[in-house]
Structure 1
Amino acid sequence: MPRSMDLNRSEQVQDSKNIRESSPASMPSDPLSQAGVVVEEKKTFVQRVLEPGSVWQIIIAALLAITIGLAVTTQVDEVPDAAVAILAIPGNLWLRALRAVVLPMIVTAMIMAIQRLRNMSQGDGKAGKLARWTIGYYVVTTIIAVAHSCLLVGLVWSKLMNTVSGDQLAVSEDDQEMIEEREDVAIHEVVVDMFYSLVPQNIVDALATDSLLAVLITAVVIGYVIKPGGALMKAVEEIEVIIMRIITVLIKLAPIGVFFLIMPNLFRLDIAEIGMNLGILIGGTLCGMVLHLFVIIPLIFVLITRQNPYTMWMKCSPAWITAWGTASSAATLPVTIRCVLERGVPVTVAKFSVPLGCLINMDGTAIYFPIVVVFLAATQGISLNAADYIIVVLLSTLASIGTTPIPSSSLVLVVMIAGSIGVPITGMYAVVVAIDWFLDRFRTAVNVSCDTFAAVIVTKITGIMDEDGEIDQETANIDPSSLGRRDEEKV
Structure 2
Amino acid sequence: MVQNTPSSAADASHDSDTPKKKRLGLLPQILIAIVLGIVCGLFFPDWLVKVFATFNGLFGNYLGFIIPLIIVGLITPAISELGKGAGKWLGITAAIAYGSTLFAGFLAFGVSMIVLPSLLAGHSMSTAANPEDALLGAYFQVEMPPVFGVMTALVLSFLVGVFLTFIKGDVLRRSFLEFRDIVDLAIRVTLIPLLPLYIFGIFLNMSATGEAFTIISTFLGVVAFVFALTVVMLLLQFTLASVFFGRNPLVMLKTMLPAYATALGTSSSAATIPVTLRQAIKMGVSTPVASFVVPLCATIHLAGSTVKITAFALAIMMLSGAPINAAAIVGFIFMLGITMVAAPGVPGGAIMTAAGLLTSMLGFTEPQVGLMIATYIAIDSFGTATNVTGDGAIAAIMNRLITGKRYDRSEAEADAVAAPA
Matches within 5 A, 1:199-210: 208-210=147-149
Matches within 5 A, 1:100-179: 100-118=65-83, 126-161=85-120, 162=122, 164=124, 168=126
Please give the secondary structure, in 1, of the residue aligned with 2:345: coil
> Alpha-carbon deviations, 1:225-264, whole Å to 9, x = none?
3456644333323222222112112212322222122221
Query: For the Cα contact (< 8 Å) 1:116–1:348, is it kept in 2?
Result: yes
1:322 to 253, 259, 262: 262
Matches within 5 A, 1:470-485: 475-478=415-418
Aligned equivalent of 1:388:
328
Aligned partners of 2:30 and 2:168: how far apart in 1?
40
Give the Å deviation of 1:97: 3.2
Aligned equivalent of 1:194:
none
Aligned partners of 1:446 and 1:332: how far apart in 2?
12
Aligned equivalent of 1:216:
154
Aligned equivalent of 1:192:
none
**Distance of aligned partners of 1:323 and 1:105 in 2 relative to their CA distance in 1, 3 Å threshold:** same
Give the Å deviation of 1:379: 2.5
Aligned equivalent of 1:97:
62
2:198 to 257, 278, 288: 257
**Distance of aligned partners of 1:395 and 1:232 in 2 relative to their CA distance in 1, 3 Å threshold:** closer
How large is the Cα RMSD of the aligned pairs? 3.4
Give the Å deviation of 1:170: 10
Aligned equivalent of 2:34:
62
Aligned partners of 1:362 and 1:338: how far apart in 2?
20
Aligned partners of 1:275 and 1:463: how far apart in 2?
44
Give the Å deviation of 1:405: 1.7
Aligned partners of 1:253 and 1:353: how far apart in 2?
25
> Alpha-carbon deviations, 1:328-359, whole Å to 9, x = none?
11111122112222223222211211111011
Aligned partners of 1:320 and 1:283: how far apart in 2?
17
1:398 to 320, 333, 338: 338
Give the Å deviation of 1:464: 5.3
Please give the secondary structure, in 2, of the residue aligned with 1:328: coil
Asked if 1:87 corresponds to 2:52, the answer is yes
AA paired with 2:328?
Answer: D
Give the Å deviation of 1:275: 8.0
Aligned equivalent of 2:273:
333
Q: How many residues align?
A: 384
**Distance of aligned partners of 1:479 and 1:449 in 2 relative to their CA distance in 1, 3 Å threshold:** closer
2:208 to 235, 247, 267: 267
Larger Rg: 1
**Distance of aligned partners of 1:68 and 1:293 in 2 relative to their CA distance in 1, 3 Å threshold:** farther
> Alpha-carbon deviations, 1:342-394, whole Å to 9, x = none?
22322221121111101100001111221222233223211303223322322
> Alpha-carbon deviations, 1:75-116, whole Å to 9, x = none?
x9xx75x55433222334334334433222211222211221
Aligned partners of 1:387 and 1:306: how far apart in 2?
38
Identity fraction in percent: 23
Please give the secondary structure, in 2, of the residue aligned with 1:331: coil
AA paired with 1:215?
Answer: A
**Distance of aligned partners of 1:273 and 1:219 in 2 relative to their CA distance in 1, 3 Å threshold:** closer
Aligned partners of 2:246 and 2:259: how far apart in 1?
22
Aligned partners of 2:184 and 2:293: how far apart in 1?
18
1:281 to 210, 218, 222: 222
Aligned partners of 1:91 and 1:333: how far apart in 2?
18
Query: For the Cα contact (< 8 Å) 2:259–2:272, is it kept in 1?
Result: yes
Query: For the Cα contact (< 8 Å) 1:163–1:381, is it kept in 2?
Result: no
Give the Å deviation of 1:399: 2.9
Aligned equivalent of 1:416:
356
**Distance of aligned partners of 1:277 and 1:58 in 2 relative to their CA distance in 1, 3 Å threshold:** closer
Aligned equivalent of 2:3:
none
Specify every segment of 5 or more residues in structure 1 that has no aligned partner in the other structure, as ranges.
1-21, 23-40, 119-124, 176-205, 482-491
Matches within 5 A, 1:181-192: none
**Distance of aligned partners of 1:479 and 1:343 in 2 relative to their CA distance in 1, 3 Å threshold:** closer
> Alpha-carbon deviations, 1:121-161, whole Å to 9, x = none?
xxxx6424422431221121111100010112211114433
Taking structure 2 as the reference length, the TM-score comes to: 0.80
Aligned partners of 1:263 and 1:170: how far apart in 2?
21
**Distance of aligned partners of 1:380 and 1:136 in 2 relative to their CA distance in 1, 3 Å threshold:** same
**Distance of aligned partners of 1:133 and 1:415 in 2 relative to their CA distance in 1, 3 Å threshold:** closer
